């Protein structure tokens, strides 16, 4: 390619031209094909919900499967801790040498750590507005996005 911006007609497409499936069909197929073994029921449901959208954004690729797997695992843990905390108290009272104290139940710390892990993975995958802006950079405007044809 010459110049700062390439011409789309000079680029060889990575997928065959004969693929006349819709973006939705290709997304569902990619999510199923790249699905890791050993997902729990909760993780599997989240995988089926999230990964087709990641494919549509161009972020579900073979080398990103482990990151996507960790993302759905962190989200499943986060939801589990949230459900556990919703059923009970977040604190308890303890009495010792320092007198009466209110302490957080261990699930609160586990929830906070899972939230931090989930947030970091969401940033890595560009799943919030600021992280998404950082992913595109100068490459974004080089070519037209093929997904725009399906919106």
Domain map (residue ranges) of the chain: 21-150
Assign 66 to helix, strand or coil: helix
Q: Tokens standing for 102?
A: 């209110």
DSSP state string for 29-55: HHHHHTPPTT--HHHHHHHHHHHHHHH
Task: List per-residue pLDDT tens for the chain, 151 residues long.
Answer: 455 676 777 776 666 566 688 999 999 999 999 999 999 999 999 999 999 999 998 888 888 899 999 999 999 999 999 998 888 888 888 888 888 998 888 889 999 999 999 999 999 888 888 777 777 654 455 555 666 665 5
What is the pTM (predicted TM-score) of this model? 0.70
Interhelix angle 129-136/106-124, rounded to 10 degrees, is: 30
Contact 80, 72 (CB under 8 A): no
């Amino acid at each position: 390619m010459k110049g700062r911006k390439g011409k789309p007609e000079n680029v060889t497409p990575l997928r065959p031209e004969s693929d006349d499936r819709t973006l939705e069909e290709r997304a569902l197929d990619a999510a199923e094909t790249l699905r890791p073994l050993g997902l729990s029921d909760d993780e599997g449901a989240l995988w089926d919900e999230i990964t087709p959208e990641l494919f549509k954004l161009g972020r579900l690729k073979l080398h990103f499967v482990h990151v996507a797997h960790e993302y759905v695992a962190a989200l499943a843990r986060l939801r589990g801790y949230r459900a556990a905390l919703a059923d009970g108290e977040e604190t308890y009272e303890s009495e010792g040498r320092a007198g009466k104290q209110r302490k957080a139940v261990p699930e609160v710390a586990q929830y906070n750590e899972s939230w931090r892990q989930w947030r970091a993975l969401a940033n890595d995958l560009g799943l919030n507005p600021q992280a998404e802006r950082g992913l595109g950079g100068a490459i974004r405007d080089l070519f037209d996005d093929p997904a725009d044809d399906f919106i």
